[in-house]
Chain A
Amino acid sequence: MRRYIRLYLYFLRFSFSKAMEFRLDFFFRFVMDCIYYVVNILFFKVIYLHTPVLAGWREDEIMIFVGTYILIDAINMTVFSTNLWWLPWLINKGDLDYYLIRPVRPLFFLSLREFSANSFMNLLIAGGFFIFSLSQYQGTYSVGDLFLFTILIINGSLLFYCIQTLTILPVFWTQSTRGFVDLFYTLGLAMERPHRIYKGIYKVLFTTLLPFALIASFPVKVFIDGPDLMTILHISAVTAAFFCLLNFVWTKGLKNYSSASS
């Protein structure tokens, strides 16, 4: 484990020294992501002009929810997105070779080697808005609640990564460079809606098979309603299941990997 942390510190160092060279890209990412944040915040602000409560949450509560999912989005943009962007190309073009021969878990290497230092500013802004939304919260909470919330946000980011990667890995079989990742972006919108708006089969779907509701909405539910063992167990079990599934599909995919001739 310590070795993997040390490796990650190297990835960080490399990524920051590289990022200094591409200032224009830095600027565009910053502007694009800020627009995304503002649109999301305004979307709910407009809704609350018409109603005091939405899906059981007041405006100050929904702002914590918005803060949570833009924070998770920023974490994923910074930590995983560049890596996952290239992954289907590497698989499709048979360029995994050098990752597969190293005595390190290839998926660790491939998912984390590029820390997107260009998005780091956005991570700070998303984090800033998240803290601001907490400061506006009218309810009360303890340090313990905040700690649990942080853990659940990290868990949400991992789950987000697992689902996204699982939609990429079919590239091993489909030979296309996209896999089902477009489907992920479409369905990913489900993460940006409070879980209580889903009823019946959709509720089951978005909390089990496509667990987008567990990424941000459930952590906020635990924070606002107080810890509840069943919900925490549910989130942990689904995340663990998705993590195992990811490793399983990855191993199966590698058996199908044919590499490219030189």
Chain B
Amino acid sequence: MIKVTGLRKTFTSHKKEPGLMGSVKALVKREAVLKEALKSVNLEIQQGEIVGLIGANGAGKTTLVKILAGIVHPTSGDATVLGFRPWERDNNYRKQMCLIMGQKNQVWWDLPALDSFLLLKEIYQIDDARYKYNLAFLAETLMVQDQLKTQVRKLSLGERMKIELMAALLHDPKVIFLDEPTIGLDISAQKAVRNFMKTYQREKRPITILTSHYMEDIKELCPRIVIIKEGSFVYDGSLSDVQKMLGDEKVLSVTTEEKTFKVHVPRAELSVKTQEILSSNNVIDLNIQDPSIEDIIESIMRFGVGHS
């Protein structure tokens, strides 16, 4: 399991004014800027769970994932994954986890995927039988049997992502960090990756932390979500409960001759507000709906919990 207590990470950067003078000034006196990427967060995830980590750019998602993957050291606080402190980089931990980043490659670009897999087999000391079985299972589930012998750089983005997934999962990791796995993929490739992850999660029961900007990924895969805003967790709970948070509201989608807009209205004021809108605008279309999960999460990310 994953247990995170009071985890903090502060990054230091240096401010520099633009232009040549700014560079000269920075040589003499640099102003340090501290950025708190994580502000004392706590988290517990059990084996077999898949958790969606949601937040705007720079909210601290990737920092958390990188600390848990052992890439970055935290400033303070503690975290254990499968009983290991990740940043101590114990080989026994690293053999049981994997990280997949949608924007970075891990397989050898100029070689066929199978060559990279052989290297990974050696790195993770996967025995022949398990390697053969996993290779066949992953290639079949991801439907890439025919692409394994082609140079990776000649594959499409979607096929490359599937190869990346294979490379990361060959050693049966018990913990999976998936950072934006569907970024840049077309709809059908996104779907294929999602379906694969669903099957994989069901069959192998790893702990998975998924970060994604695509709500479809989260909705399809994650029964539990953690919403992170400016380094703090603002929501940690089930995805279905999120809807209840704003359950007291309705959303009016209004189209007038000039524009289209949405208004969140408390249920009790619904009829008054609707009449107000209808009388004061040239309304072409008006829809009354429950808020969608996207609306709610966006609202939480922008204003925090408790806003209505």
Q: Residues of A with Cβ closer than 8 Å to B?
A: 3, 6-7, 10, 13-14, 17-18, 21, 95-98, 100-104, 254-255, 257-259, 261-262
- By the criterion CB–CB under 8 Å, are B66 and A97 in contact? yes
Closest chain B CB from A192 CB (angstroms):
34
For B63, the chain A residues whose CB sits under 8 A away are 261
- In the complex, what residues of A have CB within 8 A of residue B125's CB? 3
Q: Please determine whether B104 and A95 come into contact, CB atoms closer than 8 angstroms.
A: yes
Binary interface encoding of chain B residues 138-157 relative to chain A, with 1 for a CB under 8 A from any of its CBs, else 0? 00000000000000000000
Contacting residues, chain A, for B98 (C-beta < 8 A): 101
**Interface size (B, Cβ < 8 Å)?**
36
Q: Mark B261-275, 1 if CB is under 8 A from A, else 0.
A: 000000000000000
B116 to chain A, nearest CB (A): 9
Judge if B44 is at the interface, Cβ distance under 8 Å.
Answer: no
With A3-B125, A21-B110, A258-B72: A97-B104 Cβ-Cβ less than 8 Å: yes
Q: Which residues of A contact B161 (CB under 8 A)?
A: none
Residues of B within 8 A of A (CB): 11, 57-58, 62-63, 66, 69-73, 89, 91-92, 94-95, 97-99, 101-104, 106, 108, 110-111, 115, 118-119, 122-125, 179-180
Kindly provide the distance from the CB of B175 to the nearest chain A CB, expressed in whole angstroms.
11
Question: Please, could you name 14 A-B residue pairs with CB atoms under 8 Å apart, sorted by A?
Answer: A3-B122, A17-B111, A21-B110, A97-B99, A97-B101, A100-B71, A100-B89, A101-B99, A103-B123, A104-B91, A104-B123, A257-B72, A259-B66, A262-B101
Q: Which residue of B lies closest to A104 (CB)?
A: B123
Q: How far is the CB of B39 from chain A (nearest CB, A)?
A: 17
Lowest 4 A-B CB distances belong to which pairs? A103-B94, A103-B91, A98-B106, A103-B95
- B122 and A101: CB pair below 8 A? no
A262 touches B123 (CB 8 A): no
The 8 Å CB contact of B122, one of A6, A98, A254, A258, is A6
Is B111 a contact partner of A18 (Cβ separation < 8 A)? yes
User: For B62, what are the chain A residues with a Cβ–Cβ distance below 8 Å?
Assistant: 261-262
**Across the interface, which residues of B come within 8 angstroms of A7, CB to CB?**
119, 122-123
- Taking a contact as CB atoms under 8 Å apart, the answer to whether B110 and A259 are in contact is no
Q: Are B111 and A102 in contact, with the CB atoms below 8 A? A: no
Known contacts A6-B122, A14-B119, A97-B101, A259 near B72 by CB under 8 Å = yes
Given A18-B110, A259-B71, A262-B102, 14 additional A-B pairs, CB 8 A: A3-B125, A7-B123, A17-B110, A95-B104, A97-B99, A97-B101, A97-B104, A101-B71, A103-B91, A103-B95, A259-B72, A261-B57, A261-B58, A262-B101
Instruction: Decide: A10 near B122, CB < 8 A? Known: A98-B104, A262-B103.
Output: yes
Give CA–CA (A6, B91) in the complex, Å. Answer: 18
B71 touches A257 (CB 8 A): yes
Q: A3-B125, A101-B94, A102-B94 are in contact. Are A262 and B104 (CB under 8 A)?
A: yes
Q: How far in angstroms is the closest Cβ of chain B from A20?
A: 10
Contact B71 A97 (CB under 8 A): yes
Q: Provide the bound-state CA to CA distance between A95 and B106, in Å.
A: 11
Rounded to whole Å, the gap between the CB of B220 and the closest CB of chain A is 21
Closest to B63 in A: A261
Name the residue of chain B whose CB is nearest to the CB of A261. B62
CA distance A257 to B12 in the complex (A): 11
Complex CA–CA separation, A261 to B9 (angstroms) = 14
Smallest Cβ distance from B253 to chain A, in angstroms?
33
Q: Write out the residue numbers on chain B whose beta carbons fall within 8 Å of the beta carbon of A3.
A: 122, 125
Contacts of B179 in A (CB 8 A): 262
Interface centre among A6, A254, A262 (most CB of B within 10 A): A262
Residues in B whose Cβ lies below 8 Å from that of A95: 104
Assess A14 versus B115: contact at CB under 8 Å? Given A97-B101, A101-B70, A262-B102. Answer: yes
| Chain A residue contacts of B91, Cβ below 8 A | 103-104
Give Cα A43–Cα B13 distance, bound, in whole angstroms.
48
Would A100 and B70 be within 8 Å (CB), given that A18-B110, A262-B101, A262-B180 are in contact?
A: yes
Q: For the complex, what is the distance from the CA of A21 to the CA of B108, rounded to whole Å? A: 15
Q: Who on chain A is nearest to B108 by CB?
A: A14
Bound together, the chains give a CA A104 to CA B69 distance in angstroms of 15
Q: Which of B89, B94, B118 has the most CB of A within 10 A?
A: B89
A248 nearest CB across to chain B (Å): 15
Assembly CA distance A61 to B89 (angstroms) = 49
Contact of A10 with B118 in the complex, beta carbons under 8 Å: yes
